[in-house]
Amino acid sequence: MILADKIIEERKRIGLSQEELAERLNVSRQSVSKWESAQSIPDINRIIMLAELFGVTTDYLLKDDAVRNVGEPVKESVEHTRNVRKVSLEEASEFLMMRKLYAPRIALGVMLCIWSPITVILLGGLQEEKAINISENAVGGIGVSVLILMVAAAVALFIKSSNKLDAFKFLEKEEIETAYGVDGMVKEKRDAYESSHTSILIAGFVLCILSVMPIFIALCFTEKDAVMIGMVALLLLIVGIAVNMIVRTTLIKDSYDMLLQYNEYSIGQKKSRNKLEVVGEIYWLVITASYLAVSFFTKAWGITWIIWPIAGILSGIINLIFDNKSNSPD
C-alpha cells in the first residue's frame, strides 16, 4: 500500500475530513488532497506529525510493503464516533448526473420569473401611448394573467427539481466523508468543466452589463415613452437570458464543490449557510410581496421592476456581511 492510500485509510479510521486533517497539520486542504491523490508527498516534519496523529510509525507510512503490526497501538479519536455521512462513488456519480440534468430547468424557472413582467410593461406602455385600443383594466388583466402563469410555471419547475434533488440535500448542509476514488473522480470532472464555467460566467455578466445599452442608445434618438418602455422590456429579456446562463453554470459547478467540500461548502461555511437560508427565504418573500403591492397600488409596472435589481444587490451585500462575520475569529 502506497503512502497516499495509507493517509486516506488512517484519516478515515480516526474520523477526520480532509479539511480537519489539514487544520491539525497547519496545511491547506489542497495539500492533503494532493497527498491522497499521490500528486505530492508530505515533508518529513508532516510525516512525523501524521505518524503521531494516526498512532503509527513513520516506517509504516513511508515503506510501501510495511504493514501495521497487530499489537501496534492505535490512537482512538473522540471524533471517531462522529456521525458523518459517507458518500459512495455511485451516489456521487448519480448526484452529478441529476444536478446536470435539472440545472437547466431551475435556470429556466429563474428566467421565467424575470420575464414575467414584460407583458404587463409592454401592454401598459402601448395603452398609455394610445398605440392599442384596449382598456386599462384589460391591460392589467392580460398582463397580470401572463405574469402569474409564467411564475406558476417557474414554481412548478422549482418544485419538481427540488423533489428530484431532495435526496442529496444533505450535501449542502452536513459534513460528509467520501469513499475512496470519489475525490479523484470529482476533481477530474471539476477541472474539465472549469474552462466552460468561466466562459459562460463571463458571458452572462457581460450580457447583464450590456443589457442597459438599448436604453442609452434609444435616449440618443428619441424620448418617446413607448420606445423607452420597449427598451425596458428588452433589458429584462437580455437580463433573463444572462441570469439563466449564470444560474445554470453555477449550479453545475457547485455540485463539484459540494462533494469536495470546497469554498462556500466547506464544513465551516455549511454551519453558517443553514442560518443564512432562513434569512434568505424570508427576505425574498418580503421583496415579492412588496413588488406586487407597490405595482398594483401605483399601476406603474414599467417602473416597479427596478425593485428586483435593487433587491439582488442588497442580497449580495447581506451575504457578504454574513460571510465576513462567519469567517471572523471569535
Question: What pLDDT digit, counting tens, does each position of 233-280 carry?
Answer: 888 899 999 999 999 999 999 999 999 888 878 776 666 655 556 666
Rounded Cα gap, residues 119 and 153, in angstroms = 16
Domain ranges of the chain: 3-81, 87-262, 266-330
Helix, strand and coil in the chain, % to nearest 5: 80, 0, 20
Amino acid (one-letter) located at 31: S
Determine how many CB atoms are found less than 10 A away from the CB of residue 275.
11
Query: pLDDT band at 76, cuts 50/70/90?
Result: very low
The CATH homologous superfamily for domain 3-81 is lambda repressor-like DNA-binding domains (1.10.260.40)
CA 70-72-74 angle, to 5 degrees, is 115
Q: What is the pLDDT of residues 314-327, one digit of tens each?
A: 776 666 665 555 54
Q: What is the DSSP letter of 27?
A: S
CA 101-105-110 angle, to 5 degrees, is 145
Closest CA to 187 of 266, 253, 102, 100: 253
Backbone phi, then psi, for 176, in 5-degree steps?
-125, 160
**Is the Cα torsion angle 183, 185, 186, 189 positive or negative in sign?**
positive
Query: pLDDT band at 71, cuts 50/70/90?
Result: very low
- pTM score, whole prediction: 0.64
Interhelix angle for 118-128 vs 136-165, to 10°?
170
Highest mean pLDDT among 128-137, 181-190, 201-210, 321-330: 201-210
